[in-house]
Structure 1
Amino acid sequence: MLAIHNGQYQYLLGSVSANMFPLSHIPLFSLLSMTVILSAKISMVNSHGCESFDNVRSEVIETNDRQSSEKLDGCIERKKLHDKTIVSAYFRNQKIPKLGKESVRYLVKLKTISFWGCNVETVEAGAFKGVPQLKNVQISFSNLKKIRMGVFNPIETLELLRIHDNRIDTIDDQAFANLTSLKKIYAGNNALSYWHSNWFRNSTNLQTMDFHNNKIRTLPRRAFATLPKLKRINLDWNEISAIESEAFRGLKKLQYLGLGNNRLTVIHESVFPSNIQISTLLINANYLNYLSGELLNKVSVLEVFLDYNPWKCPCLKEIYAWIHSTNGALRVYDGCGSNHVPVCANRKSLLQCSENVDEELSRRYLGVFANLTKPLASGCVRTD
């Protein structure tokens, strides 16, 4: 039996005609076989990567601002939307465990797509195809564990990516690379324990990154060196105990740097470039006893959150002088102010700032919070 490959049917008929072999002489069984083979191939092509949705609802907005609710099976594409031309699609609290290859395809005007609370566990490379204007993607409040290379990279127009509130613990190398339009990424409330600078290779227009409330332990050398336009970094509520030398190399002016509620005992002056300006700096609720004079000479701030570190009192006095010299302001988190807890600790023999870690002094200071008659709000101080 003759095997027919996709796209060769017309060629076959032309060959038959050229050889003066009338179709009437071809056995009926052979014709039926050819039809079955061809139909099977066409069916396979049409269904490829189009099995992600099973009776799910999406709210869509068309180019004329008309809104409607659509029931979808397979994938989201124009012909399944009754030929509507949409600019936005929102899936909320649907059951979509997997976004397979070409789950979102050939929607040339689509700018925003959101999967919120849809229990997404897996997103395959190539999930988005033929979306030349897509700017905003959200996959949040789901069960996503891994970000694969090739999922977001093909979306050249992507500006805003929200993947927060998942269970992400793995990100492939260069998973966000070559996204030259990407400006903001929100990936907080996940389970990442490490940081790789090559995640964002050649994504040089990134301005905001939010990875708060993960489990990141270390910031490596040159963590942000390829991101010269970065303005806001939120790494609050992680497990960061070490920041390597030159971690912030390449950055000159930050609007926000969040390092609060981590496990820092020291911040070496070598982590920052000279004369870096930080509008808002959060280093509250760590285990810091001091900031070195070299560090204070490198950095200027407009406002800083220092509260609930086991500061040595002479060292805290130097920090206050630094804030004053840069015309900065001291801030305290809402709900964390108290007149019943100390702002620093000291040894009787300590009259000047000694730039070394004093673990025993830190234990004494943090032990005070275990015996407060009126405990501070959750998150104000880290005692674990």
Structure 2
Amino acid sequence: MAVIKYLWFLVLFALKEACADLKCEIQDDDGEILKCTNDEVYNLVLQRGFLSSYRNATTIIMNLCSIVNIDTEVFEDVPSLKTLDLSVNYIENITIGTFDGLTELEELNLFNNYIEDLPVDIFKFNVNLKKLNIGDNVLFWLNVGVFDSLVNLTSLVLSSNYIAGNYWDPEVFRRNVNIMNIQFNGNNMSEAPQNLLSRFDKLISVNLKNCHLTEFPAFLISSNKTNVIILNLRENEIRIIEKDFFENYEIISILDLSRNQIEYIAEYSFKSMKKLTFLNLSRNLLTTLPHGLFATTYRLSLLDLSHNMLTVLQEDLFKRTKLKNLNVAYNRLTYLQQDFCQQQKNTGAILKIFFFNHNPWQCACLKELLNEVKRSRINYNFTYFDGVQPVCVTEEFVCKRQENVNSFYADLFDSTVKNVM
């Protein structure tokens, strides 16, 4: 028995010493902000009583501290805590009761740990929590009821876990009607249920970057999300944008569809987006854009069409927009309409930044365009057009603005200039 007690004493002593190596400093005069660092100890355990000297703390930052475990009662000494950052540690399990004493907690960051499961009652007493980040963990599902107490939650980060589409249960969010920002990015959302977002009446921002989507998700079409301002669908495998996909997104301002495989966009797909200001369609497979695509995007000011396969830009494509920043670099353009920038200005789009490098330009067409952007003092990629490297083909004096000759000049560019660059 004496041996067992001695061994237990050694364990407790080692844990105490480990916590002692966690260096904590007050960051403000009122003793409310506590920042902890750990440069020496791995596999650190937060023990009960460790925070007893910091009872006035309202913010505790313990990221990058090599924490592996937390005693259930460690936060009972800081009842006024509003912000807790435990990100970038090695926490695997959080037991029920760990956060029970933090009834004033408003922000909890558990990003980049190794958490496998969140017990149903883990947030039972955190009714004032507004921001929760549990991204970049190893969650394979979420238990129904785990967020039931979080009725004031406005921001929820679920990114980069392992929750597959058919494991997303809309009932998990049944009481989270105040959520305005939700991040699913990095999860597999390809089979997520159609009513996934049905509870979110105040949703403003949705992040679906890199979610293995091969088509536009049904839960974005079926949900009447008229409050959404920011929608990120970057890095998926979406191929088609149909006319009705964005019908409910009347006040959306920022839309990112870059790095997909979009080949087709139906005409008037953006008809309802009268407040759209930023649109990223870069790195897709677009060869053409329908004539009326931007007919009602009156506030559009930044448009990225780079890294596609566009061969033509219609002269009145951006009519009535407020376009200031246009990127058509890395496409298959050999010409633009004469006085292209002035024509945009005449219809309301006053270009300030215009990138058109790395296209198979006819030299005569490029010369006209360069003269115009210089004359109009429009910023462009002048380092690419420095006169040192070849950037166009043919020495003809006249710009041939016919679609049927595009392929000839594009092929000529590929076989000559592209090989030199």
TM-score by length of 1: 0.71
After TM superposition, list the pairs within 5 Å mapping 1:278-357 onto structure 2.
278-293=323-338, 296=341, 297-298=343-344, 299-324=349-374, 326-331=376-381, 340-348=388-396, 350-356=397-403, 357=405
Are residues 1:92 and 2:119 paired? no
**Amino acid paired to 1:282:** N
Distance 2:220 2:408 in 1: 43
Match of 2:234, SS state, is coil
Partner SS for 2:411: helix
Secondary structure of 2:133's counterpart equals strand
- For CA contacts below 8 A with separation 6 or more, give which structure has more relative contact order: 1
Q: 2:14 matched to which residue of 1?
A: none
- Alpha-carbon distance in 2 for matches of 1:247, 1:124: 35
Instruction: Determine whether 1:150 maps to 2:150.
Output: no
Q: Once the two structures are superposed, what CA deviation does each residue of 1:195-221 show, in whole Å capped at 9, x if it has no partner?
A: 134223222111001111000012220
Contact 2:249 2:273 in 1 (8 A): yes
Is contact 1:305–1:332 with CA below 8 Å preserved after alignment? no
Q: Render the CA deviation track for 1:21-64: whole Å, top value 9, x for unaligned.
A: xxxxxxxxxxxxxxxxxxxxxxxxxxxxxxxxxx8669999754
Q: Do the aligned residues in 2 keep the contact of 1:57 with 1:94 (CA within 8 Å)? A: no
Q: In the alignment, which residue of structure 2 is the partner of 1:26?
A: none
Aligned to 1:259: 305
| 321-330 or 238-247: bigger deviation | 321-330
Runs of at least 4 residues off by over 4 Å:
55-63, 65-76, 98-104, 124-127, 324-327, 336-340
Report the counterpart of residue 359 of structure 1 in structure 2: 407
Q: 2:244 aligns to what SS in structure 1?
A: helix
Whether the 8 Å CA contact 1:174–1:198 is kept in 2: the answer is no
Provide the residue aligned with 2:276 in structure 1.
230
Q: Alignment length, in residue pairs?
A: 313
Name the CA distance, whole Å, in 2 between partners of 1:100 and 1:368: 60
User: How far off its partner does 1:326 sit?
Assistant: 4.8
Shift of 1:164: 0.4
- Name the structure 1 match of 2:161: 118
Q: Which runs of 5+ in 1 are unaligned?
A: 1-54, 376-384
Residues 253, 277 of structure 2: 8 Å contact kept:
yes
Q: How does 1:60-71 map to 2 (within 5 A)?
A: 63-65=104-106, 67=108
Deviation at 1:125, TM superposition (A): 4.4
State which drifts further: 353-362 or 258-267.
353-362
Measured in 2, the distance between the counterparts of 1:325 and 1:337 equals 16
Structure 2: tracts of 5 or more residues without a match? 1-91
> How far, CA to CA, are the matches of 1:182 and 1:209 in structure 2?
10
Root-mean-square deviation (CA, aligned residues, Å) is: 3.3
Residue 117 of structure 1, CA deviation: 1.7
Q: Which residue of 2 aligns with 1:190?
A: 236
What one-letter code is carried by the residue in structure 2 that aligns with 1:128?
F
1:200 partner letter? F
1:136 paired with 2:184, answer: no
TM-score with structure 2 setting the length: 0.65
The within-5 A match list for 1:175-254 is 175-176=220-221, 177-254=223-300
| TM-aligned CA deviation for residue 132 of structure 1 | 2.4
C-alpha change, 1:295 and 1:220, in structure 2 (3 Å) is: farther
